[in-house]
Amino acid sequence: MYGLIGKLKAVPGQRDALISILLDGVSGMPGCLSYIVAQDPADADAIWITEAWDSRASHEASLSLPSVQAAIAKGRPLIAGFEQRIETSPVGGHGIGTTA
Amino acid sequence: MYGLIGKLKAVPGQRDALISILLDGVSGMPGCLSYIVAQDPADADAIWITEAWDSRASHEASLSLPSVQAAIAKGRPLIAGFEQRIETSPVGGHGIGTTA
């Protein structure tokens, strides 16, 4: 499996709008086992995204999906920056969904 | 929802053993929506755990479960230290399982 843990900052005041776009864009991504979007309670503009995929290739392919391309285009103006991006190798657990 | 992102370090050479203990201990935790254990590909001793719970209270209650107590007792000697602990407020996504 392939995993990502990322922290991004929204443009001030735009976190909820950006989260809505992220959540709209992530349904039906082939190979996506988990994709959870969270607010950072300690930082009013910060968002954490934790992801698990069946492979790195599935994650990379997702970036070309029309739904994801549309979310990127819509969300980009609301992103102030990326603060962390950690790649992981998930090995198991609870809540690892079925693909797509 | 309540979330945690944590990084811990295993005693050198004990990462796989510690991961097995963690995975054994996390089935059937009431209120647990996601609990994913991952290796850090950039650090041979590091483990990332990402969690989503229906509430902070469910997470706290889990620490008293016999299965979790047993995992803590068994795993503690294999833990070298905790490097990060980030609390989050998950709002949605894919792979948020059913409780327990």
Question: DSSP of B43-59, one letter per residue?
Answer: -TTEEEEEEEES-HHHH
Nearest to A95 among B19, B41, B95 (CB): B95
Per CB distance under 8 Å, which residues of A are interface residues toward B? 1, 3, 5, 19, 23, 26-27, 29, 32-42, 48, 50, 52, 86-97
Q: Is the pLDDT of residue A99 over 80?
A: no
Q: How confident is the model at residue A95 (pLDDT cuts 50, 70, 90)?
A: confident
Residues B50-72 pLDDT 10s: 999 999 999 999 999 999 999 99
Chain B residues within 8 A of A23 when measuring between CB atoms: 91-93
Residue B9: is its pLDDT beyond 70? yes
Percent of chain B scoring above 70 in pLDDT: 96
Mean pLDDT score of chain A:
94
Q: Identify the residue with better confidence: A97 or A71.
A: A71
Closest-CA distance, B93 to chain A, in angstroms, reads 5
Q: Which of A27, A59, A68 is nearest to B93 (CA)?
A: A27
Domains of chain A: 2-88 (3.30.70.100)
Is the Cβ pair A36, B52 closer than 8 Å? yes
Q: What angle do CA B68, B71, B72 make, to 5 degrees?
A: 85
Q: Which residues pair with B90 in a beta bridge?
A: A38
User: For an interface test with A, which of B26, B27, B94 has the most A Cβ atoms less than 10 Å from its Cβ?
Assistant: B94
Q: How confident is the model at residue B98 (pLDDT cuts 50, 70, 90)?
A: low
Q: What is the pLDDT confidence band of residue B28, given thresholds at 50, 70 and 90?
A: confident
Which of A59, A88, A96, A98 to mutate against chain B (most B CBs within 10 Å)?
A88
Question: How many CB pairs below 8 A link A and B?
Answer: 125
CB proximity list for B61: less than 8 A, separation 6 or greater: B30, B31
**Residue, of A27 and B35, whose pLDDT is higher:** B35
pLDDT of residue B100 exceeding 70, the answer is no
Position A27 scores a pLDDT of 81
Chain A residues whose beta carbon lies within 8 Å of the beta carbon of residue B94? 26-27, 29, 32, 34-36, 97
pLDDT in tens, A19-60: 999 998 888 899 999 999 999 999 999 999 999 999 999 999
Cβ-based contacts of A48 with chain B (< 8 Å): 3, 5, 86, 88
With CA atoms as reference, report the closest residue to B96 among A55, A33, A90, A47: A33
- Mean pLDDT rounded to a whole number for chain B: 94
Indicate the pLDDT class of residue B95, thresholds 50, 70 and 90. confident
Taking the C-alpha atoms of residue B85 and residue B69, their distance in angstroms, rounded to an integer, is 20
Q: Provide ipTM, 2 decimals.
A: 0.92
Contact A56, A76 (CB under 8 A): no
